[in-house]
């Protein structure tokens, strides 16, 4: 994305956030801010898509416990979908695992 595109996106996303808190209809907000409704709608779709992606990325990731792993003191092996493995030979704090999976 070009620097000017990033600036435009930041501007439009901030205007969408302002609109969300305004209590006004989209058309009314666009009239007040002198923005073409079609432009606002275009950026609103992009904003919603980005929000959807962010929410999906933070959703729960299923964890499968095999062969008795997960019992304190037994260690842990974390296998990513691409085949990378992390092997822990001691107890691991859940917040640390959450950070690895995020």
Per-residue pLDDT tens over the stretch 40-50: 999 999 998 88
Task: Report the domain count for the chain.
Answer: 2
- pTM as predicted: 0.50
Per-residue pLDDT tens over the stretch 39-90: 999 999 999 888 776 655 555 566 666 555 445 556 777 777 777 888 888 7
- Which structural domain range is residue 92 located in? 60-102
Which residues fall within 8 angstroms of residue 97, CB to CB, at 6 or more apart?
A: 76, 78
- Quick one: 67 and 44 in the same domain? no
- Quick one: 53 and 65 in the same domain? no
Q: Is 76 exposed, middle or buried (0-12, 13-18, 19+ CB in 10 A)?
A: middle
- Quick one: 49 and 68 in the same domain? no
- Quick one: 65 and 53 in the same domain? no
Domain holding 31: CATH number? Answer: 1.10.10
Selection from 42, 15, 43 nearest residue 29 by Cα: 15
- Quick one: 67 and 49 in the same domain? no
- Quick one: 102 and 70 in the same domain? yes
Q: How far apart are CA 84 and CA 39, in angstroms?
A: 43
pLDDT at 29 over 90: yes
């Amino acid at each position: 994305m070009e620097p000017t595109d990033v600036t435009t996106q930041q501007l439009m996303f901030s205007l969408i956030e302002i609109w969300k808190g305004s209590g006004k209809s989209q058309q009314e907000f666009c009239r007040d801010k002198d923005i073409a409704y079609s432009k606002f709608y275009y950026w609103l779709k992009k904003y919603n898509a980005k929000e959807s992606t962010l929410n999906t990325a933070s959703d729960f990731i299923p964890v499968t416990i095999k062969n008795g792993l997960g019992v304190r003191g037994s260690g842990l092996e974390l296998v990513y979908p691409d085949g990378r493995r992390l092997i822990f030979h001691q107890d691991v704090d859940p917040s640390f695992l959450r950070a690895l999976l995020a």
